[in-house]
Structure 1
Amino acid sequence: MKKLYRSQHNRKVAGVLGGLAQYINMDATLLRVLFIILMFATAIFPFVLGYIIAMLAIPKDPGYIEG
């Protein structure tokens, strides 16, 4: 079973959307664009709050070695 992690190699801010894209097997850039469009089309605050909560709740990828 796959586990959701924040991406450490495909990240722009905290790796939440990069990790989610890996988990659902989707292009990370497309997911980021959709996130931004939906964020501005509805209300910005809930998306930012959701991102911050996800950043705190989803662990970093343990298989990534910085270097």
Structure 2
Amino acid sequence: MSKFDSNHNAVRPASSKNFRLDHADGKIAGVCGGIAKYFGINPLIVRLVFLVGAVAGFGSFILIYLAIWLLAD
């Protein structure tokens, strides 16, 4: 089976998932909405995890959030 289509473009398997920022459901940058969509969970849960992590982790989750925002599409 070829990994390229007739136009010589790479073909991904149907089961592969890609992470994308969710600008439509996002509150700030779409990071939490994108994570929630990727894992199929409620965005509110992801937002609460980031909030608790930002407070309890002395801001480390803020750096993680910013890194995801800058690195994702």
TM-score tier, shorter chain, comes to 0.7 to 0.9
Q: Which has the higher contact order (CA 8 A, sep 6+)?
A: 1
Provide the alpha-carbon RMSD of the alignment. Answer: 0.9
Whose helix fraction is larger, Structure 1's or Structure 2's?
Answer: 1
Would you say how many aligned residue pairs link Structure 1 and Structure 2? 58
Could you say which residue in structure 2 is the equivalent of 1:58?
72
Give the share of equivalent positions with the same residue, in percent: 28
Gaps of at least 5 residues in structure 1 are 60-67
Gaps of at least 5 residues in structure 2 are 1-15
TM-score, scaled to structure 1: 0.79
Q: Which moved more, 1:23-32 or 1:34-43?
A: 34-43
TM-score, scaled to structure 2: 0.73
Structure number with greater Rg is 2
